Amino acid sequence: MTRPDHEGFAEWDAAYVLGALTPADRRAYEEHMQQCPLCRDAVNALASMPGLLAQIRPESEADLPDQHREPVDLMDAMLRKEDRRRVRRRHRLLVWATAAAAVLVLVLAIPAALVHQPADDVVSVGLEPVDSAYSPMDVDVTLAPEAWGTRLSIECEYPAQLDYQRQQTWYALVVTDVDGTSTRASTWQAVPGDTVVLGAATAVSLDGVASLAVVTAGGEEVLTATIPGQ
């Protein structure tokens, strides 16, 4: 039974018999022959060639009849054929490698173009306290458009001391779209004296976001902002 990679070794028989392969190629070809009867038969058919070549008398080429010069010419032809085969194989490898590199660049570039939007489309807003609510914290939100909706980055800065008698410690960011539908995008707890950065997302496109609000656990709005352009 012929191995699937027989085609790659099909022209190695003469070079193997004549000892023209490198040590690494010779080992690879011998391993291949263990499973490929076609290559074994080809080597067996050429096995007598080195002996025939050894019988050539060391006379000058000019004194030899044409029939005696034929084995030498045959050996040269086989070696030239092997050299051409090596050049073709290196050329194919170079072409394949170049094509693979081009495909890899396209594969990496296309998702990046689809997922990451230009920085000019990013919107940043600072939420302002609602008149009737108490909120010592500062909250800024950056909105970036994505193919699936809007990516949110929330930055919350808290004073070192929080009045827990008056201030809730649990908050949520609520996104309201242009149709008036509100959805909760993220929740967190206050950390006195620290700045917390949170990641969130909404399925609402950036063009469809009308406003943002920070609400307490009881649902009271303490901070709000209208998205520019809405």
Give pLDDT tens digits for 98-108: 666 665 655 56
Q: Are strands 123-129 and 138-146 parallel, antiparallel or unpaired?
A: antiparallel
pLDDT at 228: 85
pTM of the model: 0.46
Q: Of 55, 50, 183, 209, which Cα lies nearest the Cα of 123? A: 209
Query: Is the predicted pLDDT of residue 150 greater than 90, yes or no?
Result: yes
119-226, what's its fold?
Immunoglobulin-like (2.60.40)
Query: Can you give the pLDDT at residue 216?
Result: 83
**pLDDT tens for residues 176-212?**
999 999 998 888 887 777 788 888 999 999 999 999 9
Homologous superfamily of 6-114: Anti-sigma factor, zinc-finger domain (1.10.10.1320)
User: In this structure, are strands 195-202 and 149-157 parallel, antiparallel, or unpaired?
Assistant: antiparallel
Domains of the chain, by residue range, sit at: 6-114, 119-226
CB distance 206 to 118 below 8 Å:
no
